[in-house]
Amino acid sequence: MLVLSRKVGERIWIGDEISITVLRLTNGGVKIGIEAPHELAVVREELKHKIEAAEKLLNEATIVAVDQASPTEPVDHPAKGD
């Protein structure tokens, strides 16, 4: 883990497309701004955990639904010339 000290208004770059700017310091916290490409998701850690848990439940429900689905019965096709 890289640990850096920054002052309000100072910026950190990740690659060429992602920047993190220290906006404000408060009692017990820091407000930061993140600029990143739109196709890159930027979420808080607690939200990431909720998304992962919801995806896991959805995948488990899908597996159960597929396992409980009745198998399709073969379709009789008429013989050629009928």
Asked if residue 51 is part of any domain, the answer here is yes
Residue 82 confidence (pLDDT) above 90: no
Cα separation, 35 vs 17, whole angstroms: 8
Q: How many domains does the chain divide into?
A: 1
3-state SS, residue 41: coil
Give the chain's largest Cα–Cα span: 85
Q: Residue 41 belongs to what domain range?
A: 11-68
Residue ranges of the alpha helices (H) in the chain?
45-68
> Is 15 part of any domain?
yes
76 pLDDT above the threshold of 60: yes
Instruction: Identify the pLDDT of residue 62.
Output: 77
The reply to whether 6 falls in a domain is no
- The pTM score is 0.63
Helix, strand, coil % (nearest 5) of the chain?
30, 25, 45
Predicted confidence at residue 7, as pLDDT, reads: 95
**What pLDDT, in 10s, does the model give residues 33-67?**
999 999 999 999 999 999 999 998 888 877 766 66
Residue 39 falls inside a structural domain: yes
Does 55 map to a domain? yes
Half-sphere exposure of 16 (CA within 13 A, CB side): 0
Q: Classify residue 63: in a domain, yes or no.
A: yes
